[in-house]
Structure 1
Amino acid sequence: MEQNKLLIHPSYFPSISHFVAMVQTPELIYEVDDNFQKQTNRNRMYIYSANGLQLLNIPIKHSKEAHQKYRDVKIEYAFDWQKQHFKSLEAAYRTSPYFEFFEDDIRPVFEKKHDFLLDLNLQIHEILIECLGIELPYSKTTEYFKEVEEGIFDARGLINGKKDKNKFKSYPQVFDKKHGFINNLSILDLLFNEGRYGVDYLKKQALVL
């Protein structure tokens, strides 16, 4: 990427395409001022379970407002989704090479109850960069702009996983002999299978929007 700055959303254990974009751009800006949209990776991630592709979704509290800012979205704790998500990760990745190595690092995500989704996703950012052994300092937007200024790589479209058509090189996955390689999952899939070697993988992948 020739751009010096990247504009992207913080998300729930981001997709590999998110991290490819982030590690290949010098300056990271998180978009936090747009309106929240349902069925995006702001509050969901995809993992590789014994049955194939599995969606883990964070429930949010519904607002009476027609449009709600991403930064104002609150998490719903009426049922214990944190326990459910961690159990799903254990079932999917317990036998992966690096799950036990990083297990205690990610566990706090499923123990602390953040009021706001954005705060949770920013905590996840800090945990992931520590796990990967990289530095990805960021700033946050203070207002929303539909068009970005010159020199900024607009990767906000990646938050909509259904429209993300990026294809990446395969790497070993726990159940690949059963279902084959599944592309562009949560960064956790790469982390648990490749550990910090995953950083080199991310730097070598090509990204298209």
Structure 2
Amino acid sequence: MIENGAVLPMFYLPPVDYFTNLLAFKPNVVFEREEHFPKQTYRNRANIYSPDGRQVLTVPVIKGSKNHTVIKDVKISYDFRWQRAHWMGLQTCYRSSAYFEYYEDDFAPFYEKQTKYLFDYNRELLELLLRLLKIKIDIQVTDTYEPAYPHLTDLRTSLNGKNANHTQQKPYFQVFEERQGFLQNLSIADLLFNQGPQALNYL
């Protein structure tokens, strides 16, 4: 049993605050795989900085993935060409950033191949992000659902767009900040594309 660690949800292109928490508790981190899928969370959506401000990228899931569906069983829907839309969105928002071209080939495959399950897709993306950020951690997942973890900091519900992020973030350069100023807690992709190898030092 992991003690003095944290249980984290598995997000799509997680926000910066997610990685701040992950670093604070690593290596004692376990990722929730058995929870019921909560809608309208970072599990299938991410925020990026567009020319018009905050833009939400949502991974559609197959109808029937209601709150009673276990997260590991939630299937991604490909009825809509969301991968093309997300990749075009990322290019539109970050093509002029300092490091988009540096990471472009790492991210592109995630918007071409079709992964069946949302959890698996998010996990593969997380593995990429950890490698790019040079964060070494073994991804451990839950085997059963536990409503509470007495020995862990439970971050399954606190890290969401409805709550203010836990850490006040220092501003870093963002491509469109002259339009709406610094936007806090966007997807880690925003930090990577703007800061590149310095992203870990920022975190």
Is 1:6 paired with 2:6? yes
Distance in 1 (alpha carbons) for counterparts of 2:202 and 2:83: 29
> Which residue is equivalent to 2:165?
165
What 5-or-longer segments of structure 2 have no aligned partner? none
* Alpha-carbon shift at residue 83 of structure 1 (Å): 0.5
* Alpha-carbon shift at residue 149 of structure 1 (Å): 2.4
Is this contact kept in 1: 2:165–2:185, CA < 8 A? no
Distance in 2 (alpha carbons) for counterparts of 1:122 and 1:6: 17
Distance in 2 (alpha carbons) for counterparts of 1:91 and 1:67: 36
> Which residue is equivalent to 1:129?
130
* Alpha-carbon shift at residue 64 of structure 1 (Å): 7.4
User: Which amino acid is the alignment partner of residue 20 of structure 1?
Assistant: T
Secondary structure at 1:24's aligned position in 2?
Answer: helix
* Alpha-carbon shift at residue 80 of structure 1 (Å): 0.7
Shift in CA distance, 95/65, structure 1 to aligned 2, threshold 3 Å: closer
> What is the aligned length?
199
Is this contact kept in 2: 1:86–1:110, CA < 8 A? yes
Normalised TM-score (structure 2): 0.93
* Alpha-carbon shift at residue 66 of structure 1 (Å): 6.2
User: Which amino acid is the alignment partner of residue 141 of structure 1?
Assistant: T
> Which residue is equivalent to 1:23?
23
Q: Percent identity?
A: 38
> Which residue is equivalent to 2:119?
118
* Alpha-carbon shift at residue 134 of structure 1 (Å): 2.1
Shift in CA distance, 66/121, structure 1 to aligned 2, threshold 3 Å: closer
* Alpha-carbon shift at residue 142 of structure 1 (Å): 0.7
Task: Please give the residue correspondences for 1:1-209 in structure 2 after superposition, counting only pairs within 5 Å.
Answer: 4-26=4-26, 27-63=28-64, 67-150=68-151, 152-166=152-166, 167-202=168-203
Distance in 2 (alpha carbons) for counterparts of 1:145 and 1:40: 20
Distance in 1 (alpha carbons) for counterparts of 2:58 and 2:153: 28
Shift in CA distance, 197/4, structure 1 to aligned 2, threshold 3 Å: farther
* Alpha-carbon shift at residue 44 of structure 1 (Å): 0.1
Secondary structure at 1:156's aligned position in 2?
Answer: coil
* Alpha-carbon shift at residue 65 of structure 1 (Å): 6.7
> Considering only aligned residues, what root-mean-square deviation do their CA atoms show, in Å?
1.4
